[in-house]
Amino acid sequence: MTKILPFKAVRPAREFAGLVASRSYEDYNEEELKAQLEFNPYSFLHIINPGYKFQHEIGGEKRFGMVKNRYLEFREDCTFIQDELPSYYIYKIHTRDGDCCGIIAAASVEDYENNVIKRHEDTIAHREELFKEYLKVIGFNTEPVLLTYPDDPVINELLEERMRSRPEYEFATANKEIHSLWLIDEPENIERIKQQFAAIEQLYIADGHHRSASSWLLAKESRDQNPDHTGKEAYNFFMSYLISESNLRIFEFSRLIKDLNGHSKEEFLILLDEWFRIENRGIDIYKPSKKHHFNMYLDGEFYSLYLRKHNAKFTDALSELDSYILYEKILKPILGIEDLRYDKRIAYIHGRNDLIELKTRVDSGEFEVGFGMLPAGIEEIKQIADENLTMPPKSTYIEPKLRSGLTIYEF
């Protein structure tokens, strides 16, 4: 049984929505960021980059307070308003690849704590703590955790019914996406959605493991410091975007390695031969079509690597995961990559970018070798979470990616 509640979002006034909404801060290059900050006074980037107002780079805890100040300025100027009634928010993204839509709502930290909301990635303690302190100072959350649930015909019907009406927001972006948002604030529809989610036994984190962990830490601290704690306080919940499994888009990450760890090309291929059937594909671009098949680009040529069947001895869901096989059979023992997060010899390309980028970066001399694989499926991700296992870092790149600043959860 999951607890998914409506909330009173702080959000842009209708006329400002398209101007406020921004991509993730890290998604902008330096020129794009400067243009947004210089020519769009309504961009949410002004809030998360508060030092721009003074033409000064500000970091650390001083930045946290300034983020809150910029946010309060947006509220005082009525760029942001707050809904009077608790609502669920339907968010739809139309792309060239199709549509995806889901519900923005408040998820329970108690469900996270009790593993009703399941995770499949490890988190880093100091990042959890840093983001907890950030949330504590600014007092709001604008990046929802992406949660997924099995397709539900009742929820689908409710969404379809509401989406036949005029959206509260509808705007296009430079990458040819159309973003739309609707409110559901009628008591009878709110109750139907609440009860429908209550009948779902488990939810799975698709993206946002650190955000959910930090929200949980903040809730624990707030609970311990509040002698009148009831469990209904806003800090007991975190903003989430709930999307059905069929709406989820999962891509892989390719791996790029700077050197062969002292091995010659010939020595490296011989070491690979113990675990894989190797076929030189020459200059023909090769992309795997099956699990346990990998592509490799080395010295101007593509190779296919097929895990040898007699070596395919799996003990749990994690041991069958292709990103884990690549790590256990090649990256760690042969190439000496122990730490997938921090080793400076490894880099990643998400599956939204094609193999031409992998080839280009190896041909440039920046990297020596690149590897690719098929993306993990949702059932693999769920099984790993169900077995309380964790994937290697950068195992999945999951969409949709929401725009920041369209719904804000205060606590």
For strands 117-118 and 203-207, give the pairing.
parallel
Q: What is the pLDDT of residue 56?
A: 64
Q: Give every residue of the chain whose pLDDT is below 50, as ranges.
A: none
Q: What is the pLDDT of residue 212?
A: 97
Q: How far is CA 267 from CA 22, 263, 270, 296, 334, in A?
A: 48, 6, 5, 15, 10
Q: Assess whether 301 and 338 both reside in one domain.
A: yes
Number of domains in the chain: 2
Q: Residue 271, Cβ neighbours under 10 Å: how many?
A: 18
Q: What is the pLDDT of residue 122?
A: 85
Extract the tokens encoding 258.
């700077």
Rounded Cα distance, 206 and 204, in Å: 6
Q: Assess whether 36 and 162 both reside in one domain.
A: yes
Tokens 């961009």 sit on residue: 43
Question: Which CATH number does the domain housing residue 292 bear?
Answer: 3.30.1760
pTM score above 0.85: yes
Extract the tokens encoding 261.
């760890």
- The end-to-end CA distance of the chain, in Å, is 24
Q: Assess whether 234 and 261 both reside in one domain.
A: no
Q: For residue 373, give its domain range.
A: 253-394
Q: Assess whether 229 and 111 both reside in one domain.
A: yes
Burial of 327 (0-12, 13-18, 19+ CB in 10 A): buried
Q: Assess whether 91 and 209 both reside in one domain.
A: yes
In contact, 52 and 37? CB cutoff 8 Å: yes
SS3 222: helix
Q: Assess whether 133 and 237 both reside in one domain.
A: yes
Q: Assess whether 230 and 270 both reside in one domain.
A: no
Q: Assess whether 265 and 331 both reside in one domain.
A: yes
Edge-first strand listing for the sheet containing 301-307: 276-282, 301-307, 293-298, 369-372, 253-257, 346-350
Q: What is the pLDDT of residue 59?
A: 66
Q: What is the pLDDT of residue 27?
A: 86
- Compute the Cα dihedral for 373, 379, 382, 388 and give only its sign: negative
DSSP state of 165: S
Q: What is the pLDDT of residue 55?
A: 65
Q: Assess whether 54 and 200 both reside in one domain.
A: yes
Q: What is the pLDDT of residue 411?
A: 94
Q: Assess whether 333 and 207 both reside in one domain.
A: no
Q: Assess whether 315 and 368 both reside in one domain.
A: yes
Q: Assess whether 229 and 292 both reside in one domain.
A: no
Rounded Cα distance, 324 and 341, in Å: 14
Q: How far is CA 394 from CA 175, 260, 326, 397, in A?
A: 24, 21, 12, 7
